[in-house]
Amino acid sequence: MLEYLTAGLLMQLFINGILFGTMYGLAAIGLSLIFGTMRIIFLAQGAVIVLMAYACYWLFTLLHVDPYVSTVIIAPAALLLGGGLYQALFRRAQKMEDKNVSLLIAVGLMFLLENFMAVVWTPNPRSISTSYTSSSLAVGGLDISFTRLMGFVMAILSTAVVTLFLKKTLVGKAVRAASEDIEAARLVGINPHWVNTMAFAIGIGLSGIAGIAISTTYPFDPYFGFVFSLKAMIALALGGLGSVSGALLGGIILGLLESWAAFFVSGGWADAMGYAVFLLVLLFKPEGLFVRSIKKA
């Protein structure tokens, strides 16, 4: 196999890995924000991303809205949906000490969404084909798929927006503070439900972006979500909780890992390697690969 390995191919794998990795990264950022505030792993993240992918697909198929243009519709809708979902489903559960109730609601939501999509839209894989979905750009002798590049750009942009929100706005700082110490946050007057709602809404909003990117790059079906959730969790573990850039980086690393592993080893084992790395990181560096531990004040 190694005889096929040229520098060009290596670069190609590298680029593909990064491009796809940002998808994981987006999902991981959402997970990170939700975990930081609500203290649960939002297992339904992947299912929500697939739901958004379907939204993009149907907007395109029925109303002929270009997938990238649909961002204008989907992103705000996703934010609102996130806020609404939190208020409807999680608000009461979050008041309880036992966070497992919230965890199980997330599980229920995952089940609900997956099966709902399978029943209503059939388990057949869907994908979007436009004039540009199969085109690629030639950059320095490499072929970069246009849609993957767009997905990458969208991911970077949304990450930047979210980072700005967290760093520059008072509410964003409140979200960061609450992620670190919710009790101390309440003692300065921060309402936990408000920060939870914000974090959750952003998480769902980012899922919207990821969904659009997925729908234009890969065929997807209702069950695609669960594996994607797992991958997002791996990315999160790699990047460490509490760091937006870490989550994105974690996703990119995972993307690279998968890209190379899939080349050298068959697809299934590449997945297993991902999970194995995941377990190793959880066991030996649970705070993530990049986070330096800061003494608690």
Partner 1 sequence: MANHLLEIRDLTVAYGAVQALWGVSLHVEEGSIVSLVGANGAGKSTLLKTIAGMIRPKKGEVLFAGKKLSGLRPEDVVDAGISLVPEGRRLFSRLTVKENLELGAYIHRARSSSKDSLERAYDLFPILKKRSGQIAGSLSGGEQQMLAIARSMMSKPSILMLDEPSLGLSPLVVKVMFELIESLNRAGVTILLVEQNVYQALKVSRHAYVMKTGQIAMEGSGEELIADPDVQNAYLGTLE
Partner 2 sequence: MRNARSIGIALLVALLLVFVPFVSDSEKSYLVFFLFLTFCHIVLAQGWNLVAGYTGQISLGTHAFFALGAYTTAMIWRADLFGTGHYYFDPITMVLSGLVPVVFAVAIGIPLLGKLRGDYFALGTLGFGEILKVAFVKGGQFTGGPIGIVLPSTFYTSLRPHYWAALCLALLATAVVYFMSRSRLGLALVAIREDETAAASSGIHVLKYKVLAFGISAFLVGICGSIYAYYLFQVSPEGYLILSWTLYPVLMCVIGGSGTVVGPIVGSLVMTAVFSAANIYFPTVHPIFSGVIIILVMLFMPNGIVRLMERRVQGE
Closest to partner 1 by CB, 81 or 178: 178
Q: Which of 242, 263, 277, 289 binds partner 1 (CB under 8 A)?
A: 242
Q: Which of 26, 155, 174, 252 binds partner 1 (CB under 8 A)?
A: 174
Closest to partner 1 by CB, 99 or 173: 173
Closest to partner 2 by CB, 283 or 294: 283
Residue 81: contacted member of partner 1, partner 2, none (CB under 5 to 8 Å, by partner type): none
CB of 105 to partner 2, least distance (A): 5
Closest to partner 1 by CB, 198 or 254: 198
Residue 185: contacted member of partner 2, partner 1, none (CB under 5 to 8 Å, by partner type): partner 1
Residue 84: contacted member of partner 1, partner 2, none (CB under 5 to 8 Å, by partner type): none
> Long-range contacts for 278-286 (Cβ within 8 Å, ≥24 apart)?
278/233, 278/234, 278/237, 278/238, 281/237, 281/238, 282/237, 286/237
Residue 35: contacted member of partner 2, partner 1, none (CB under 5 to 8 Å, by partner type): partner 2
- 176 belongs to the binding site for partner 1 (CB under 8 A): yes
Q: Which is nearest to 289 in space by CA: 221, 257, 243?
A: 243
- 170 belongs to the binding site for partner 1 (CB under 8 A): yes
Question: Do 218 and 50 meet the contact criterion of CB atoms below 8 Å apart?
Answer: no
Residue 180: contacted member of partner 2, partner 1, none (CB under 5 to 8 Å, by partner type): partner 1
Closest to partner 1 by CB, 111 or 165: 165
- 185 belongs to the binding site for partner 1 (CB under 8 A): yes
Closest to partner 2 by CB, 122 or 135: 122
SS (H, E, C) the chain: CHHHCCHHHHHHHHHHHHHHHHHHHHHHHHHHHHHHHHCCCCCCHHHHHHHHHHHHHHHHHHHCCCCCCCHHHHHHHHHHHHHHHHHHHHHHHHCCCCCHHHHHHHHHHHHHHHHHHHHHHCCCCECCCCCCCCCEEEECCEEEEHHHHHHHHHHHHHHHHHHHHHHHCHHHHHHHHHHHCHHHHHHCCCCHHHHHHHHHHHHHHHHHHHHHHHHHHCCECCCHHHHHHHHHHHHHHHHCCCCHHHHHHHHHHHHHHHHHHHHHCCHHHHHHHHHHHHHHHHHHCCCCCCCCCCCCC
Q: Name residues contacting partner 1, limited to 276-295 (CB under 8 A).
A: 294-295
Number of residues binding to partner 1, judged by CB under 8 A: 22
Q: Which residues bind partner 2 (CB under 8 A)?
A: 35, 39-41, 89, 92-93, 96, 98-101, 103-105, 107-116, 118-119, 226, 230, 233-234, 237, 266, 268-269, 271-272, 275-276, 278-279, 282-283, 286
- 92 belongs to the binding site for partner 1 (CB under 8 A): no
